Structures are given as C-alpha cells and as structure tokens.
Amino acid sequence: MVAFDSTFLTFLFIPSAPCETEHAKERVDYLIGSLQGSGERIVIPSPALAELLIGVGHSRSQILHELTHSPKFLIASFDTKAALRVGIVG
C-alpha cells in the first residue's frame, strides 16, 4: 500500500491545478498507472481527504463517489498511532 497526501490528490482530481513542478499531472498519471498494474491500493489518510474536499466545491460528491466505490482506494483514519508510525518510518 502507498499513501497520498492532499497535494497529490489535488493533481489527481484537479488536472488544471496550478503547480510549479513540470509535468505534474503526467507524473501523477504515470504513478497511478504503475500502481494499478501492480495491484497496490492507494491509502487516503482522512486529513488529506479533508484538505482536498475543502477546495473542490461542486466536485466533492463525484470525488467521494470515486474514492469510496473504487477498490484501488482506501480511505483510512489517521490518529496519533498512525502519525507516530509514519513519523518513525519517514
């Protein structure tokens, strides 16, 4: 499993989002394609989802539908224990 932050989710769901990184959308698409081919699931920490949903307006329900109905995504709670685990590994 891999986890994505709100920046990555923004480029995934808002292709026209401004970015200083060259070819950001293409890089995100490539990574998603690579992960799908390997069968990896993409973990979406609930705080990252909240950050994304703040700025998407009317697209909110469409994004939630895709994330909750696709087997490639897993929305996960992110509590203190999870933060400690990520902090130690990272």
- pLDDT per residue, tens digit, the chain (90 aa), is 788 888 888 888 887 888 888 888 888 888 888 887 787 888 899 999 998 898 888 889 999 999 999 888 899 988 888 778 777 765
Domain ranges of the chain: 2-89
Helix (H/G/I), strand (E/B), else coil: 13? helix
What DSSP string describes 27-83? Answer: HHHHHHHHHHHHTPPEEEEHHHHHHHHHT-GGGHHHHHHHHHH-TTEEEE---HHHH
Amino acid at 27: R
Predicted structure pTM score: 0.75
